[in-house]
Copies of this chain bind each other. A is one copy, B any other.
Amino acid sequence: MSGSVDLVTNAVGRRVPTVVNGREQVGFEGIGRYEPRGAKAAPPIRSCRDYPESGDKRVPDLKTALHKCGLRDGMTISTHHHLRNGDAVALMALNAAAELGAKDLMWFPSASFPCHEPVMGLMDRGIVHHIEGSMNGPLGRYCSEGKMRGMGVLRSHGGRWQAIQDGEVHIDIAVIAAPTADPFGNADGSHGPSACGSLGFALADSVYADHVIVVTDNLVPFPCIPWQVQGNNVDFVVEVDSIGDPAKIVSGTTEITRSPDRLLIAEHVARFLKEAGIMRDGFSFQAGAGGIALAFVGFLKELMKETGVKARFVRGGSTTYLVDLLKEGLTDYILDGQTFDLTAVQSIASDARHVATSPFTSYNYHGKGNFASLVDAVVLGATEVDVNFNANVNTHSDGVLLHGIGGWQNCLFSGCTILAVPSFRDRIPVLLDDVTTMTGPGELIDVVATERGIAINPRRTDLLDAVKNSDLPIRPIEEIKDEVEKLMGGPPAKARLTEEPVAVIKWVDGTVLDTVWRIGGS
């Protein structure tokens, strides 16, 4: 990072840059305060006259495709992360761009994984200028150490759609890894040797990018049915031997936590839903694929069966545990954002009640509503939570960028947002006076469930009333925090951070919620 950066203090007291990667920013103004103006982004008008009448858009390789897309220095190339840590296509695309001599690219993945570590080399060589998108593990540390020439921009899944839709990020070339596709570019994620389930994260890219390349290892004759990505938005199709490592794309099974503390948290959360009256006929919930969330689904399922309650819909990250609910008639539908294990992939491929969604339907805050606020309860994690219920999912207490936002911010709009977290990890308290990085304002976080008790946000007097006669361990958050601090010998050491911003945390409306600072000592 070069030069000094102007900072402003936003509505939650966080200092944030006024300009990021050359683009002026608006600081977070409060939930629902920022009013967007103007029109959505509009891709160029194309004409069938410039595409093959046969519908066959295949070209021999990614280099040819990128060249035909007019690859130039400074362009933005996007990829999606449905192949997770098994993805081979993002590196193929960036390496092909490198071979073509491109410089200063912006890589715009929906998320990056440890398998993308070689992008550090591409940044060192000047091929990739910076990354906007979640940076996990090594890439996060690279950013935290101030080694990236541009600033990292972390967005939620919905925020990524919003940024593309609103024209904040203009994608020059979208490269879409497709487990199945036809020569016209229709593509689907549920079938083929590299099946990953829904392709929802690639949808905005396909609709808004100037140029779209579909890369597949399972070409089928037109039409590819179903198509989640529409060939009418696609310029070129590239066949490759393999788009990734199936074993890392989906896990064979997803695993419930075995930790007694975490099982206790999961059970508390399930009971809370029942005793607060949220678990009632026709209700809905979202739970991810983490160990606590999976255990929670198991406990909730037992309570639903005991009481004869059925959900209208459940939202995933889908796993075998959600599929079981569907098969046993305990929910009418699964609305699926990403598909985590083989059972879930098979289910979405074959069961019409298991429905692929997209960040547009589920999370985009700049739409005419979205599904997130229709969910009765959501169970999420966090790396830190403070006594004002503000939470952090991006950094740990050392301030190093470690995780993306995912759908986490978007889910906070549910009827009851529950953070299910251990009160400490590796002898470091999770409950604090003030989060290192604010990913979500406490105003939207209703319940923090730990193994030492359940804290309800004082703003939610309705929830406090609903469980006041329960024997659940409802406790003030400060009390739990103090107890943990005593056990751990005090609060965590403050992170040693510089005054140099290396990344920003965007809120769902595109404003800047917080800053990630370069770590000290370099």
Say which residue of B47, B166, B212, B233 sits within 8 Å of A366 (CB atoms): B47
- Distance between A47 CB and nearest chain B CB, rounded to angstroms: 6
Chain B residues with Cβ under 8 A from A52's Cβ?
369
Given known pairs A360-B232, A369-B232, A370-B232, the reply for A352 and B36 (CB within 8 Å) is: no
Task: Give Cα A53 to B45, complex, Å.
Answer: 35
Main secondary structure of the interface of A (DSSP, over half): loop
With A36-B47, A39-B44, A369-B231 already in contact, the answer to whether A221 and B282 are too (CB < 8 A) is: yes
Q: Give chain A interface residues in 313-334, CB to chain B under 8 Å.
A: 313, 333
A38 touches B45 (CB 8 A): yes
List A228-283 residues whose CB lies under 8 Å from chain B.
230-235, 282
**Is A37 in contact with chain B by the CB < 8 A criterion?**
yes
A35 with B47: CB separation less than 8 A: yes
Residues B185 and A226 in contact, CB atoms below 8 Å apart: no
A333 touches B223 (CB 8 A): yes
Q: How far is the CB of A349 from chain B (nearest CB, A)?
A: 10
Distance in angstroms from A279 CB to nearest chain B CB is 17
Residue A355 at the B interface, CB < 8 A? yes
B interface footprint on A358-369 (CB within 8 Å = 1, 0 otherwise): 001100111111
Tally of chain A residues near chain B (CB < 8 A): 62
B47 touching A365, Cβ below 8 Å: yes
Q: Which of A47, A221, A222, A367 has the most CB of B within 10 A?
A: A47
A428-453, CB under 8 A of B: which get 1 and which 0?
A: 00000000000000000000000000
For window 198-239 of chain A, which residues contact chain B by CB distance below 8 Å? 212, 221-223, 225-226, 230-235
Say yes or no: is A373 at the interface (Cβ < 8 Å to chain B).
yes
Which of B54, B230, B369 makes the CB contact (< 8 A) with A51? B369
Q: How far is the CB of A310 from chain B (nearest CB, A)?
A: 12
Contacts A46-B366, A47-B35; A232 near B53 (Cβ below 8 A)? no
In-complex Cβ contact of A225 among B226, B353, B366, B509 (8 A)? B353
Q: Point out residues on A near B: beta carbons under 8 Å.
A: 32-49, 51-55, 57, 165-166, 184-185, 212, 221-223, 225-226, 230-235, 282, 312-313, 333, 335, 352-353, 355, 360-361, 364-371, 373-374, 413, 509
A-B CB contact pairs (8 Å), 6 listed: A34-B47, A39-B44, A39-B45, A51-B369, A230-B361, A232-B360
- 14 new A-B contacts, CB < 8 A, other than A40-B44, A45-B366, A212-B368, are A32-B49, A34-B47, A42-B42, A47-B366, A47-B509, A51-B369, A53-B373, A53-B413, A185-B368, A222-B374, A225-B352, A232-B361, A232-B370, A234-B368
